Structure formats: structure tokens, C-alpha cells
Amino acid sequence: MHDLWTGAGLEAVDTREITVQRTFVDFDDFWKTNLKAASLGPTVTAMASGDVEMLKRRVRARLSADADGRITYRARAHAIKGHLPK
């Protein structure tokens, strides 16, 4: 990212990675919470029920639960700032 912005002529470029995590009680909590997202909920709602079940199985298979069934999900975003030369 830094190279992209400096290559575009920006100065005083500063980058930072933001990492967050959230723990869900179980997979159902994870699933229901994520379906509330404006970008995801309508997409899943528009899918055929068989496709939704397949997606759910695939997502569940990729997540690791602890001994109590809790799922901790981590995500990251990249922040960047800079300014045009004066």
C-alpha cells in the first residue's frame, strides 16, 4: 500500500494494520450475527435454500471452535494516510 501511494505522488504516507477479534458463543451465534450485516444478509436471503445450507456447511468447516464451542473470529483492515505535494 505504501509503495502504491508514494508511487502515485503522495507524501508523508503512513500505513497501519488494524486487527480486531470477536468471540461468538457458538456457530449459530456467529452465523446469525453476520447475517445482520448489510452487505451479507440480503445476499444470503436471495440464495436458494440448498445453496445457503451448502454455504453454511463450508463456513462452519473453516472455523475452529474451542472446547466450549466458542468461535473467535479475527479480521484486519489496513489504514493509510498521505497528502498531495504542496
pLDDT tens by residue, 56-69: 999 999 999 999 99
Mean pLDDT of 12-17: 95
Position 86 scores a pLDDT of 87
Give 16-67 pLDDT, tens digit per residue: 999 999 999 999 999 999 999 999 999 999 999 999 999 999 999 999 999 9
| 42 Ramachandran zone, left/alpha/beta (phi>0; psi -120 to 50) | alpha
Say which residue the cell 445457503 belongs to. 52
Q: Which 3 state secondary structure label does DSSP give 55? A: helix
Instruction: Return the C-alpha cell found at 42.
Output: 440480503
Tell me which H or E stretch contains 33.
helix 27-35
Strands (DSSP E) found in the chain: 11-24, 71-83
Beta bridge partners of 67: none
